[in-house]
Chains A and B, each alone.
Chain A
């Protein structure tokens, strides 16, 4: 009985939450500034995550997020609420990011320097999960190494991996935001993981393997 009640209460609370948001959107559409401010507060973190997942440049993210909410404010009256407000907002965010990248002709960050032996062994430890980084400096270094590897991936792979694994978007959400089939998102995600591992392996094993190949040849 309790299980039935909890099973029923979860979708109901979601529905209530959805209805509350729809009312908030209606109030914002009628020009209530406080309602719009509440919508910003509710979604700013995820929009930040989405935009920084695509742009990867912290200095540009805040400006683009502001631009996103400005666009939302301007076109809010035309939003008919057939889709969820969040989906509509995230689509605007993605389009704004792509516009920004196109206009600025931003070139991807390229790290010329390769990883040192020490860095490679530390990263290997992180991945094998027996030496997780404990200090904040180690964690920062590991993040930097990961960032370098991510920059070697195609833009689409990087976006998917960051949005899914770092910013916490679900496969369903990604499918809606990117106008893709759910299965396509899953396949692309899986292939992006494989490509990340290819980059990782090349970085990790290129130095020890090269002399061995030379001897054989």
Chain B
């Protein structure tokens, strides 16, 4: 009979064969029956690792038996829960009364913001168009030559003198 004594972990403790772990848990719970039980029993004879692991598991169960399950919250607990549910429902209902108004307000605010953005962008577009038109006009305008305009005649005599000058020039 070959004794399997090689199953040890880094801390030199025996460990179970991985393929038998589920069956060992069943064995611990005393729920292993039939051929599986026979197969495990046969394996345990030769495997020191599984035997030690099963013994450890039994010790752990004794250790855990010290702990106590959490106590019953008591008969009043269901009433506390129902009171909290009612409270939550009331809060959510009061929220739901204002919810349509809030929703409409948000929609209105969103539409107004959108319209504002549209207007601003349109105005910005128009302004930039105006600026570019002005620059085109400015670019196409002929440079002004310094032409001195004759002063307007102030009296009839001056008109006559001007006419005389003009006709004199032609002659």
Contacts and interface: CB of A to CB of B under 8 A. Distances in A.
Given A48-B72, A193-B56, A197-B56, A165 B67 contact: yes
Interface string A189-207: 1110110111011000000
Nearest to A53: B70
A44 B67 contact: no
Nearest to A167: B69
B95 to A, nearest CB: 14
B72 to A, nearest CB: 5
**Interface size class for chain A?**
35 or more
B22 A190 contact: yes
A188 B60 CA distance: 14
Contacts of B11: 198, 201
Contacts of B65: 165
Interface string A61-83: 11001100110010000000000
A200 B72 contact: no
A108 interface: no
Contacts of A126: 62-63, 66
B4 to A, nearest CB: 17
Nearest to B57: A193
B70 A52 contact: yes
A40 interface: yes
B69 A44 contact: no
B155 interface: no
A178 interface: no
Interface string A116-139: 000000000011010001000001
A143 interface: yes
A73 B84 CA distance: 11
B159 to A, nearest CB: 100
Q: Which of A129, A183, A187 has the most CB of B within 10 A?
A: A187
A146 B56 contact: no
Interface stretch (B13-21, B124-132, B141-149): B13-21
A90 interface: no
A131 to B, nearest CB: 12
A44 to B, nearest CB: 5
20 contacts: A37-B79, A40-B82, A41-B75, A44-B72, A45-B70, A65-B77, A69-B81, A126-B62, A142-B66, A165-B61, A165-B65, A166-B69, A167-B70, A171-B25, A190-B16, A190-B24, A193-B60, A196-B60, A198-B13, A200-B59
Interface of B: 11, 13, 15-16, 18, 21-22, 24-26, 28-29, 53, 56-57, 59-73, 75, 77-82, 84-85, 88
Interface of A: 33, 36-37, 40-41, 44-45, 48-49, 52-53, 61-62, 65-66, 69-70, 73, 126-127, 129, 133, 139, 142-143, 146-147, 149, 161-162, 165-168, 171, 183, 186-187, 189-191, 193-194, 196-198, 200-201
